[in-house]
Amino acid sequence: MKKHNFSAGPSILPREAIEATAQAVLDFNNSGLSVMEVSHRGKDFDAVMQEARELVKELLSVPEGYSVLFLGGGASMQFCMVPYNLLEKKAAYLNTGTWASKAIKEARGFGEVVEVASSKDANFSYIPKNYTVPDDADYFHITTNNTIFGTELSEDPKVKPYLVADMSSDIFSRPVDISRYGLIYAGAQKNLSCAGVTLVIVRDDVLVKVPRYIPSMLSYKIHIENGSMYNTPPCLPVYTALQTMKWLKANGGVTGAQKRNKAKAEILYKEIERNKLFKGTAATEDRSLMNVCFVMNEEYQALEKDFLDFAQSRGMVGLKGHRSVGGFRASIYNAMPVESVQALIDTMKEFESKH
């Protein structure tokens, strides 16, 4: 039976990227060695790192004056690394969910943090609007997609301070005006690679203000100066990221991905609205194209486990919603084919017909 992987992360990858990685694990670049055992400073892997950096710049149209890094530690490391490097006096944060809340907590250890708005009052089911960002903030931090609650910012905010964004779960899913951002970070295990590497895109001139001592492993400057090789990088996830970006480029780049993502989300949300058993949990205008969250309607809540079991019997994997929301979550990242989304829709219709 074909499996349809709706897991939120680690999550689905293009089959081409998986197969290329599997081959490189056995024999990297016809070297007779695995990509897991070659020197990260050798010419073969150096070429991987160089090509990966260049593809990030090409796919996202990164302007001059920005550096691309591949680091360890996950996006959670960036929650402290960002303010360590960038927060001199005051930073502004938009609180749209669990990960934004964690980023705020870490930043408060380095200076004043202004929480400009929060959607916690409604269990983060919407993106706050009409907030004011202090002009004198060192930066304004946003989480562009909220995997747990199924909300997403579809546009780059226009504010005076430069933007810092956690794009872990929607990186490469839509075009982004990089010039508005001082820094973007993304844990790879949702839309780019397997777990273990974090992509960072940073504008070089934002790294000159903060006077505090920054430990070498937490310094963007040090990592830039060393080409992401101050210490041994996570070689295998970087290689997989390269293969995923090659697949993305061959399939229309981020504009092609955006078109496919909109089409997939549209048919799934349409079925949730039509089906008598289900209802969405996110505000309609803020619904995510990456993580579609929904629950049983009140009168059918007793059927939640039955539906999960039924969906699993039809090959649906990873549909259970986060414990803070409940219900179901279909993560339909770039690599998710429309055929899998349609299979889920057919499963929902079949389950409805039985109840």
Write out the catalytic residue numbers: 99, 166, 190
CA 148 to CA 97: how far, in whole Å? 8
Terminal CA-CA length for the chain: 25
Q: Is 272 helix (H, G, I), strand (E, B) or coil?
A: helix
Environment class of residue 82 by beta-carbon count within 10 Å: exposed (0-12), middle (13-18) or buried (19+)? Answer: buried
How many Cβ atoms sit within 10 Å of the Cβ of residue 19?
11
CA-wise closest residue to 79 among 105, 56, 53: 105
Q: What is the DSSP string of 199-259?
A: EEEEEGGGSSS--S---GGG-HHHHHHTTT-SS---HHHHHHHHHHHHHHHHTTHHHHHHH
CA 246 to CA 27: how far, in whole Å? 19
